[in-house]
């Protein structure tokens, strides 16, 4: 045991060092990455936004970042499936902790998120955000678009999130409409996967409905995403309710008839060519979960997002 340590989130001597914490113990940062606000030399940042005041059904996603971090402890530091590599051997990743929000002044929330996200992005690091309800993607998109220009939105979701928005209200079901109207998202290059509800408008965004996802192979879905985005810089947002409630019961607005976690993870693993400039995992609400099913799914999706980043970095180095 002499070569092992615990609480790697605090005791790590390198941003690329492997952890040896027991799965059942130790400080619960995301995948045991070091907790720090220092951005020097960092390739990717994992950040939590514990906000759920914009939910239209069951609240509780404010506890999502905690649940996802806890579930991520199941990943040890062997090569991660299906990437066949230690994700952190060449990718310096930190856990930036959570966004500090004033629960009594929600009108300040969007600007607070956008300002802090812009600070992180200003360091040149890739930002992976853990939500929180889906409203948080609105200020995140603003911060990313300010740096990268209009983005192709690749959205895994049961809902289109294109409901009417007066540009003032906070609603997790309208951020896409606002982003398209404001030119932050390039609708012609954007795609939504797993949709199982109807909204008044689609704004020209390509839809892959739940029944289409059921009938397509993972390779066909991934190819459709890559062809439709056409190489444009993309923002990848994953609402956990994209998955069928059998695989993600712990969420605020579950919709039956969705894909399995296995199928969608297979899709994600094939998105290596996608130019992902930022990503989030949202709507994990652990109060409605059972045996951490949803949290494990959310943590795995987040791990895949880092895996794609590590693969891309490895390809560029080689």
**pLDDT value for 187:** 97
**pLDDT value for 202:** 93
Q: Give the integer Cα–Cα distance in Å for 64 and 5.
A: 27
pLDDT over 90, % of the chain: 79
- Least confident window among 102-106, 215-219, 263-267, 278-282: 102-106
**pLDDT value for 166:** 77
Name the band, by pLDDT with cuts 50, 70 and 90, for residue 317: low
- Torsion angles phi and psi, residue 126, rounded to 5: -80, 140
Q: Would you state the torsion angle of the CA atoms of residues 117, 123, 128, 134, taken in this order, to the nearest 10 degrees?
A: 10
78-101: pLDDT as tens digits: 789 999 888 998 899 999 999 999
220-273: pLDDT as tens digits: 999 999 999 999 999 999 999 999 999 999 999 999 999 999 999 999 999 999
- Least confident window among 212-216, 290-294, 314-318: 314-318
Average pLDDT of the residues of the chain = 93
- Ranges of H-type helices in the chain: 8-11, 64-72, 109-122, 137-148, 175-181, 210-215, 218-229, 261-269, 293-317
- Ranges of H-type helices in 12-90: 64-72
pLDDT of 316 strictly over 80:
no
pLDDT of 67 strictly over 50:
yes
Q: How far is CA 69 from CA 166, 170, 177, 313, in A?
A: 34, 26, 30, 24
**pLDDT value for 318:** 46
Name the band, by pLDDT with cuts 50, 70 and 90, for residue 314: low
Beta strands in 5-77, from DSSP E residues, in sequence order: 34-35, 44-49
DSSP 3-state assignment of 42?
A: coil
pLDDT of 18 strictly over 90:
no
pLDDT over 70, % of the chain: 97
295-305: pLDDT as tens digits: 999 999 999 99
> What would the mean pLDDT of 133-155 be, rounded to a whole number?
97
Q: Give the integer Cα–Cα distance in Å for 105 and 101.
A: 8
pLDDT of 16 strictly over 90:
no
HSE at residue 112, side-chain half, CA atoms within 13 A, is 15
Name the CATH architecture for the domain at 8-317.
Answer: 3-Layer(aba) Sandwich (3.40)
Name the band, by pLDDT with cuts 50, 70 and 90, for residue 315: low
Q: Is the dihedral angle over the CA atoms 225, 229, 232, 234 positive or is it negative?
A: negative
**pLDDT value for 70:** 97
221-230: pLDDT as tens digits: 999 999 999 9
**170 vs 239, more confident:** 239
**pLDDT value for 154:** 98
**pTM confidence score:** 0.95
């Amino acid at each position: 045991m002499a070569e092992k340590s615990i609480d790697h989130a605090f005791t790590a001597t390198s941003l690329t060092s492997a952890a040896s914490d027991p799965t059942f113990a130790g400080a619960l940062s995301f995948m045991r990455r070091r907790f720090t606000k220092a951005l020097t030399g960092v390739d990717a940042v994992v950040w939590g936004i514990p906000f759920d005041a914009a939910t239209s059904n069951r609240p509780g996603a404010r506890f999502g970042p905690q649940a996802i971090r806890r579930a991520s402890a199941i990943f040890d530091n062997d090569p991660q499936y299906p990437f066949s590599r230690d994700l952190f051997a060449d990718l310096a990743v930190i856990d930036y902790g959570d966004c500090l929000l004033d629960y009594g002044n929600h009108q300040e929330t969007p600007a607070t998120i956008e300002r802090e996200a812009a600070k992180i992005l200003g360091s040149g690091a890739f930002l992976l955000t853990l939500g929180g309800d889906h409203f948080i993607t609105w200020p995140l998109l603003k911060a990313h678009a300010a740096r990268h220009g209009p983005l192709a939105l690749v959205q895994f979701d049961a809902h289109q999130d294109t409901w009417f928005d007066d540009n003032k209200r906070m609603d997790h079901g309208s951020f896409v409409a606002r982003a398209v109207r404001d030119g932050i998202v390039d609708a012609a290059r954007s795609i939504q996967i797993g949709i199982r509800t109807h909204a008044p408008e689609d704004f020209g965004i390509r839809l892959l409905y739940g029944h289409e996802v059921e009938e397509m192979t993972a390779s066909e879905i991934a190819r459709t995403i890559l062809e439709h985005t056409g190489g444009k810089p993309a923002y990848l947002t994953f609402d956990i309710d994209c998955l069928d409630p059998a695989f993600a019961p712990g969420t605020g607005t579950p919709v039956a008839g969705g894909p399995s976690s296995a199928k969608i993870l297979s899709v994600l693993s094939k998105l290596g060519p996608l130019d992902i400039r930022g990503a989030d995992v949202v709507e994990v609400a652990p109060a409605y979960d059972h045996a951490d099913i949803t949290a494990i799914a959310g943590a795995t999706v987040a791990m895949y997002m880092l895996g794609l980043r590590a693969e891309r970095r490895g390809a560029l180095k080689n």
